[in-house]
């Protein structure tokens, strides 16, 4: 039985790879069972993240040296070839930590441990970016919607369309308070409490994406 702990603040003793926690081998800490179950439960109500779920692509850093909790790349070689030392360092850490991945693989790089409640939400957020990238139909929809947003709202908001969409999904599926704060404070306009027509358009986009995934899954059956 797992001890009662504060899952938001309890420090994980040892970061463990999601790939390892999902396998048959003994877990480093019994609490991983709790967070693995939390991830399963949450992805079941998060269709976009669920569609791109892949434990191999999630790489847990053993260091906490990034200002962001998670990053997705569709091609690790872009980090390897970057002229920025930070990206090269991330690439080297990914390859060293996860030999299952090669330089051309997709990766979700976690600076925040996935085996916390906040970390679970970060994994799901980054998996949605992965879904938008690898599902060609969704990718085309995102690009078309972004073009409309750029024309209507300009580069500041339009250029961040995918991130804004993903944050609204954080709220819709998981009532994520950090996503609400980001939407309230990231831009001059409060995108969460005000701008009802903007919100209406975003939620319509989410419904369209959900419908596309539903149809794709029905066609596979």
Distance CA 204, CA 209 (A): 9
The pLDDT of residue 194: 80
**Residues near 81 by Cβ (< 8 Å), separated by ≥ 6?**
none
Residue given tokens 């419908």 in the structure block: 211
Q: Report which of 22, 45, 42, 47 is spatially closest to residue 32, judged by C-alpha positions.
A: 22
What pLDDT sits at residue 6?
39
| pLDDT score recorded for residue 196 | 86
**pLDDT for the residue 2:** 34
HEC string of 123-187 equals HHHHHHHHHHHHCHHHHHHHHHHHHHHHHHHCHHHHCCHHHHHHHHHHHHHHCCHHHHHHHHHCC
Q: Give Cβ neighbours of residue 32 (< 8 Å, ≥ 6 apart).
A: 16, 21, 115
pLDDT recorded at residue 100: 84
Three-state secondary-structure class, residue 40: helix
The CB density around residue 68, as the number of other CB atoms within 10 Å, is: 10
Count Cβ atoms within 10 A of the Cβ of residue 30 and give its class: 0-12 exposed, 13-18 middle, 19 or more buried.
exposed
11 phi-psi bin (left φ>0, alpha ψ -120 to 50, beta other): beta
If 0-12 CB within 10 Å is exposed, 13-18 middle and 19+ buried, where does residue 146 land?
middle
Per-residue confidence in pLDDT tens, the chain, 221 aa:
333 333 444 554 577 889 888 876 555 566 688 889 999 999 999 999 999 999 999 999 987 778 889 999 999 999 999 999 999 999 999 998 888 898 889 999 999 899 899 999 999 999 999 999 999 999 999 999 999 999 999 999 999 999 999 999 999 999 999 999 999 999 988 999 888 889 999 999 999 999 999 999 999 88
Cα torsion for 6, 48, 56, 93, to the nearest 10°? -70
DSSP 9: T
């Amino acid at each position: 039985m797992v001890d009662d702990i504060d899952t938001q603040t309890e420090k994980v003793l040892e970061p463990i790879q999601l790939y390892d926690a999902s396998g048959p081998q003994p877990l480093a800490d019994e609490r991983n069972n709790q967070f693995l179950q939390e991830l399963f439960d949450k992805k079941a109500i998060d269709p976009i993240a669920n569609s791109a779920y892949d434990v191999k692509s999630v790489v847990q850093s053993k260091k906490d040296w990034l200002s962001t909790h998670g990053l997705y790349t569709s091609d690790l070689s872009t980090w390897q070839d970057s002229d920025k030392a930070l990206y090269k360092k991330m690439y080297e850490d990914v390859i060293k930590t996860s030999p299952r991945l090669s330089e051309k693989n997709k990766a979700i790089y976690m600076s925040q441990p996935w085996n916390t409640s906040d970390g679970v939400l970060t994994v799901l957020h980054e998996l949605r970016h992965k879904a938008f990238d690898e599902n060609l139909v969704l990718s085309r929809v995102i690009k078309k919607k972004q073009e409309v947003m750029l024309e209507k709202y300009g580069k500041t908001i339009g250029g961040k369309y995918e991130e804004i969409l993903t944050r609204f999904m954080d709220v819709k599926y998981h009532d994520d308070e950090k996503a609400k704060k980001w939407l309230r404070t990231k831009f001059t306009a409060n995108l969460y409490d005000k701008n009802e027509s903007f919100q209406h358009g975003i939620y319509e986009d989410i419904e369209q994406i959900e419908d596309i995934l539903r149809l794709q899954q029905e066609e596979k059956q």
